[in-house]
Structure 1
Amino acid sequence: MTHSDDELYNINDWRGDGPQVGERPSEYTGLSVLDLPDLRGEITVYLGGGEGGLYEDAMQRIQNLYRDFSVYIRPASSSQLANTIIEEANAGQSPADVFWAIDAGSVGVVAENGATLTLPDHVTQSVPDTYHPTDEWVGIMGRARSIPFNTDQFDEADIPDAVAEFPEHPPFEDGMGWAPTYGAFQAFVTAMRELNGREATKQWLEAMQEHGVETYGNEFQVANAVASGEIAAGFSNHYYSRLVYEERPDAPIELAFTENDAGALVNCSGAGVIQNSSNPETAANFIHHLLSIEVQEFLGTRGFGYPLVPSVPPIGNLPTIDELNPPDLDLSTLANVEPTLDLLREVGAL
């Protein structure tokens, strides 16, 4: 369905109000909270990660919509909860109804171990297939790999469209940054291993080091260094440049995207209904609420993640989720990070 602003559920109350929000669409295609069945009863959500409390805030808002609905949240790390759910589900006694994990790898591992139920088509159909490779789980919000670059030094046309080209790109010699200790970078390298093999990935890492890449503690620092002109470009998830803009609206930083390689990876948070849930219909309906226009707008404009409902655009002048060109990769493989850590240590990046 196509909704104008006034046909949605108080969209301005869900929408963030920071300096980047600017003009949002006057119409959205998709399901409004008002189109969905009321939530009733109680569910328990195992929450892995949570974007600094943003996901808990979203769930509290959903609970507040319904007099007869309660959601109980158990937060912990995604990997810890994944292991717990698998153990509990195998024993036939998990108290969890929903697993919502910040990374697709964790929720994918839970699904692969037979600990989730199949989601109805009407829940998953609004999300591109890449972000629900099976119907055992569905993506909620995306995190796109990107190349932040300093616009005082380069135009977007100057940025290579393949990560393999960066070690041999003279303008970026001694002018790029990365954050090897950071989980998002490690997921990127894991994707490269899965797509290109260990040896090719090792060669790329070594070539980047020979090219003079600068190391930072996290990808927000990378984006800030680009905006300050300390480096010309870097490797980071897309939303760190948006966080820079929140503090420095005139910062000379923009994003470029590679195509069909590890540099174009789009990871995502994901959710699934847990095997033996005491209330599976309500659990599936709850996940459907996370994919409503209102909740996607809430998460996208307040946390700067990529809405996975294509009609809800991301913050800033960025392509929508269906305009990106990620590689053909099962996101659950990103959970296999130990070989990546071994490789990063071997080349001296860690």
Structure 2
Amino acid sequence: MTGLAGCSGILGNESESDGDAPGIGDFRGSGAIVEDRPAPGGTSIEDLPDLDGELAIYLGGGEGGRYTTLIDLLDQYYDGFEVTQQTQPSSQLANVIVDEHDSGTTQADLFWSVDAGSLAYVSEQGATVDLSSDATSMVADDRFATDQWVGVAGRSRAVPYNTNQFDASDIPTSIDALATQDRFQGSLGWAPTYGAFHGFVTAMRQLRGDDGTREWLNSMLDQNPARYDSEYATVSRGITNGEVGAGPTNHYYPMLVFAQRPDVPLDLAFTENDAGSLVNTAGASVLDGASDPELADLFVRHLLSAEAQEFLATRGFAFPMIDGVEPVGPLPTIEELSPPDLDLQSLSDVQPTIELLKDVGILS
């Protein structure tokens, strides 16, 4: 994909609604690329039952505070609705949830995770309940919904690159070529301690087995990649500053950087039919033992409303999960990508990934 220059200004100040309750202008991002954007389709918040009562959320991650902002907007929208939230990394909260479920001391109503692997793990341990069909039917693609969790914000693996160092034609459509072509020797960056990277390697293990994944990891080590503490840092500090030329990340990190710094030499490419093009999703589930499971289920439906999906698409550059809301600017739709055929439930198998990364010397 090329043409990120159309993305400048998306993360500017959001518009205000005229009344006390937030309007679509408060949910939507701002900037040139949003100005001509049509009204979102899908089910409006106005067509859903009111959120009323107290809801406790375990929030895995938070995406730079954007998820918290969305929760606050929904809190403001309903006078009788109050949210408490605890934020930790998704994998940590998943373990907390399972421990609490096993001891009969569930402390939250809803789990909102940044990745499907944590959602899958919690559901496999029996710590969630079935969602209503009203919630699951809102998701347009059944790859991103199960009986016990639904995706709310899609993301793809991608290869951002520095346009001063590489042309679009230089970036391969295979994640293997990134690890083996001489042109990338000493020019790659990655964030191997990052949760998104672990999900990517877990996907690779599911697709090609541990031996094939080990071979790829060792080939990447031979390329002498620079290490960063997050994939956002890989893009914002490494690629845009010319420290490295390219590296695997989630697709929205270069979009976020470019929105803040539109003159950086940055573009984005996607591989095809391998773990490097995995489409994952943030999502939500209702916890077994929730004090108000009906309210939690209704909150999930609100995360899939037209307003919430417009928020996630225009402020976080996520792939929307419902019909009627499009990705922003030059981003392709999920249908235009070429992800591998992989059940996202299998991403719960992350512990062998950690062990493999330690065994090859990437993690200590």
- Give how far 1:234 is off: 1.3
How is 1:74-153 mapped onto 2 (pairs within 5 angstroms)? 74-127=86-139, 128-132=141-145, 134-153=146-165
* Residue number in structure 2 paired with 1:164: 176
Structure 1 residue ranges, 4+ long, deviating more than 6 angstroms after superposition: none
Distance in 2 of aligned mates of 1:185 and 1:51: 15
How is 1:188-199 mapped onto 2 (pairs within 5 angstroms)? 188-199=200-211
* Residue number in structure 2 paired with 1:3: none
- TM-score (norm. length: structure 1): 0.88
- TM-score (norm. length: structure 2): 0.85
Determine what percentage of the aligned residue pairs are the same residue: 48
Q: What SS class does the counterpart of residue 193 from structure 2 fall into? A: coil
- Give how far 1:30 is off: 0.9
The answer on whether the counterparts of 1:166 and 1:172 sit within 8 Å (CA) in structure 2 is: yes
- Give how far 1:337 is off: 2.9
In the alignment, does 2:286 pair up with 1:273? Answer: yes
- Give how far 1:335 is off: 3.6
Amino acid at match of 2:213: T
The answer on whether the counterparts of 1:21 and 1:301 sit within 8 Å (CA) in structure 2 is: no
* Residue number in structure 1 paired with 2:10: none
Amino acid at match of 2:302: H
Q: What SS class does the counterpart of residue 234 from structure 1 fall into? A: coil
How is 1:1-350 mapped onto 2 (pairs within 5 angstroms)? 10-17=23-30, 19=31, 21-127=33-139, 128-132=141-145, 134-224=146-236, 225-350=238-363
Q: Deviations over 1:91-139 (max 9, x none)?
A: 555242211122222221111122222112231223222222x220001
Distance in 2 of aligned mates of 1:247 and 1:41: 37
- Give how far 1:348 is off: 2.9
- Give how far 1:75 is off: 2.8
Amino acid at match of 1:348: G
The answer on whether the counterparts of 2:40 and 2:310 sit within 8 Å (CA) in structure 1 is: no
Q: Deviations over 1:226-271 (max 9, x none)?
A: 2333333211111221232133211121111112211011222211
The answer on whether the counterparts of 2:117 and 2:199 sit within 8 Å (CA) in structure 1 is: no
* Structure-2 change in CA distance of 1:20 and 1:227 (3 Å): farther
Gaps of 5+ in 2: 1-16
- Give how far 1:193 is off: 1.3
* Residue number in structure 1 paired with 2:9: none
How many residue pairs are counted as aligned between the two chains? 341
Q: Deviations over 1:165-223 (max 9, x none)?
A: 22333433332222222222222112111211111111111122223433333322322
The answer on whether the counterparts of 1:148 and 1:256 sit within 8 Å (CA) in structure 2 is: yes
* Structure-2 change in CA distance of 1:77 and 1:228 (3 Å): closer
Distance in 2 of aligned mates of 1:89 and 1:47: 17
